[in-house]
Amino acid sequence: SSEVLEAIENVVQGVLQSLAQKKAPVLTVANRTDWRNIEFKDSVGLQMMPDCTAKQIRSDCPQSAKRFALMLKILSMIYKMVQSNTYATKRDIYYSDTLLFGSQSVVDEIINDISCMLKIPRRSLHVLSTTKGFVAGNLSYTEEDGTKVNCTCSATVFTVPSNVQGIKNLTSRAKFILIVEKDATFQRLLDDDFFNKVSPCIMITGRGIPDLNTRLLVRKLWDSFQIPIFTLMDADPHGVEIMCVYKYGSVSMSFEAHHLTVPSIKWLGLLPSDLERLNICKDALIPFTKQDENKLASIQKRPYIACQPLWKKELEIMAASRLKAEIQVLTSLSSDYLSRVYLPNKLQFGGWL
Task: Please identify every residue annotated as catalytic.
Answer: 95
Cis peptide before 270 (omega within 30 of 0): yes
Long-range interactions of 35-43: CB distance < 8 A, separation 24+ = 35/251, 37/254, 38/251, 38/254, 40/248, 40/302, 40/303, 40/304, 42/263, 42/307, 43/263
Nearest to 42 by CA among 215, 299, 263, 265: 263
What is residue 211's DSSP assignment?
P
Q: How far apart are the first and last CA of the chain?
A: 42
* Sequence-distant (≥ 6) Cβ neighbours of residue 98 within 8 angstroms: none
| Max CA distance (Å), the chain | 74
Distance, in Å, from the CA atom of 74 to the CA atom of 315, rounded to the nearest integer, reads 42
